[in-house]
Amino acid sequence: MKKLFLILIPLCMILTGCKQAVVEDNPFFVEWDTPFGAPPFGEIQDDHFLPAYMEAIRQHKEEIDAIINNTEAPDFENTIVAYDNAGALMSKVGLVFGGLRSAETNPRLQEIARETTPMLSAHYNEIRMNQDLFARIQAVYENRESFGLNLEQMRLVEKMYRDFERGGAALPEEKREALKQLNERMSMVSLQLGENLLAENNGFKLILEDEADLVGLPPDVISSAAEEARKADLEGKWVFTLAKPSWTPFLQFSERRDLREKIYTAYFMRGDNDNEHDNKALFAELMQLRQEATRLMGYNNYAEFFLEEQMAQKPENVYDFLYQVWEPALARAKSERDDMQAIIDREGRDYKLESWDWWYYAEKIRAERYDLDEDEVKPYFTLDNVRRGNFLLANKLFGLTFVEQPEVPVYHPEVEAFEVLDRDGSHLGVLYIDPHPRPGKRSGAWCSTYRSGSYDNGEKIAPIVPIVMNFTRPVGDLPAMLSWDETTTYFHEFGHALHNFFADGQYRRTSRSVPRDFVELPSQILENWAGEPTLLKEYALHYKTGEPIPDELIEKLSNSEHFNQGFLNTEYLAAAILDMDWHTAEHGDEIDVTAFEDATLERIGLIDEIVPRYRTPNFGHIFGTGYAAGYYVYRWAGVLDADAFYAFKESGDLFNQELAEKFRNYILANNAIYEGMDAYVRFRGAEPTIEPFLRQSGLME
């Protein structure tokens, strides 16, 4: 392999202009001799990626050619399993590169992404539309009943055939070539949209020099801003950024209305500033490209194409569901707005509530109506406490234990690594926890894999799973203390991690194959346990005294459960409907992004005081295909998780072992066999109803 590699490197340098290609000792070309086979992050250099990708492409092509050139008749093993196993090096390189580009990127990694994205798009186009390969897969598909396949194998064949069919393999040659070009351009546009958004996130700083500008802000928020200033070599000043732990408390507590307007406007105008990072023209192009591609495939629009494989099945069902929640949510939001305006009037202030005022007056209502001060609650929800709460829950439900492993290599000093042990003490996987914002990390929170769980010749390959967040940092001698929103987000992402650990399919394609509108069920259901008194008493301990959170604070948290739910549901639903409108509309040659967005918000009657959770130019969920025409899934899965958690509640035991085992089996582990509503009904015994969700959201009495 090293001789071949030495030949490839000069070619790489000629074709791509890579500046410092690392010729020797590329860690991707050897088996990783690390604890649990974790990526050796300390050895991986940025310039290892390009040659590793080129070798991965070469190997993958060789593996595909071996399938095509097999002289034996196509069958399950020599075609379907062989294809499922192909591309191991590609996966090894891609998972590490993708993980680092999301959580710890830098200009060189972004440069490599721009070089490799068209290369990889072309490579996968050639595979997906290869007629000889498709012919073999189609032959197995058409004769699948004759191979004596079990249920899991049958689903693998059917999924794989559908992948190729939906990838364009069944199209005539002229359309296949057109689709290849569209795919390659879409991949570059999506990449640039994401890079622009990261630049916009990092490009704004609210720098305060006068202590009087800090009026209303809690001491911990001020200390965090001072620490941010020190990191930016602005000692003696205070810096607020567009990272959520920074801008959210500023909006909640700052008495400087003009500054609230400044930071919030910067947030919702990301990607819409007519500068070098403006996303409007790129997004318009993306919509035109997606429309053209789906028309080639024979669909009316992208939403129709995407939803065909989801639980919702078609756009009409999504709209019906969203509007069913939209009407009570909007009514509640209007009531919340009127309550806030009443406070403004009562205080003798001569202005109308605006979007940058909402958080500030919502906090006043929280204090007045629920007697709840977040600063009183946060000392119980330190970062370590919340992590312990997640570990406790996993132990009570599934018998898991987590052992810190400082010897496991990590990609940043803040990242912690834990071995995950199953109920019987066997190794289940490795969990990385990456909690805090950095300039190289994109916004939000997510769970991914550095190695996906699978099997190799019957031997289980355990997953390596990071959960990545952007939570409040510790300041000085104080620990990181999380807001309630951050606390539930932690439980959410941990739920995704459990899904990865438990997935137990034999084949890579189907091991964790669930519809997009099902995948949020394992994450969102864990949020329900976060606020349950039984668990709170065990993990929410005061960082100074070690005393558990008192009953009166738990009661206040419970009483405020429906606080601000009109706003939270409305801002989310507005974005979900906007996403659906973009992906169902007929787009002409000229798209005015701002006018389109405005028309959607006017049609649904969104009030001026609320901005959608994401506006089009910063709607990162739909820049790629993961949540495009699929942002609705969080509320769709909300119906599932509310109904599923109610099963535990009505059993009288929040940690009911029989239900937990059924949940693990049908919802988390056997995705290769059961999917979507079939899996849910096997767990619950019936399809879910929407009432528990509406009650939980405060939208129904």
Cite the active site residues: 493
CA distance linking residue 427 with residue 463, whole number of Å: 10
User: Which residues 6+ apart lie within 8 Å of 3 measured at CB?
Assistant: none
Q: How far apart are the first and last CA of the chain?
A: 67
In DSSP notation, 651-680 reads HT-TT-HHHHHHIIIIIII-TTT--HHHHH
Q: Where are the beta strands (DSSP E) in 376-440?
A: 401-404, 416-421, 427-434
Which of these, 112, 611, 148, 626, lies nearest to 358 by C-alpha position? 611
C-alpha distances in Å from residue 580, one per residue of 314, 496, 541: 11, 25, 43
C-alpha distances in Å from residue 92, one per residue of 329, 349, 498: 44, 59, 21
Do the bridges between strand 401-404 and strand 464-468 make them parallel or antiparallel, or are there none, so unpaired?
unpaired
> Which two structure tokens, joined as six digits, stand for 489?
């987000």
Q: Cβ–Cβ contacts within 10 Å for residue 605, how many?
A: 11
CA distance linking residue 57 with residue 572, whole number of Å: 40
Q: Cβ–Cβ contacts within 10 Å for residue 305, how many?
A: 20
Q: Where are the beta strands (DSSP E) in 287-426?
A: 401-404, 416-421
Supply angle C-alpha 43, 47, 51, rounded to 5.
Answer: 105
Which of these, 382, 437, 539, 406, lies nearest to 201 by C-alpha position? 437
Q: Are 27 and 89 in contact (CB under 8 A)?
A: no
Supply angle C-alpha 240, 242, 245, rounded to 5.
Answer: 75
HSE of 689, CA atoms in CB hemisphere, 13 A? 5
C-alpha distances in Å from residue 531, one per residue of 304, 375, 527, 694: 38, 17, 8, 18
C-alpha distances in Å from residue 443, one per residue of 103, 199, 356, 472: 9, 11, 20, 13
Do the bridges between strand 464-468 and strand 427-434 make them parallel or antiparallel, or are there none, so unpaired?
parallel
Which of these, 441, 446, 487, lies nearest to 465 by C-alpha position? 446
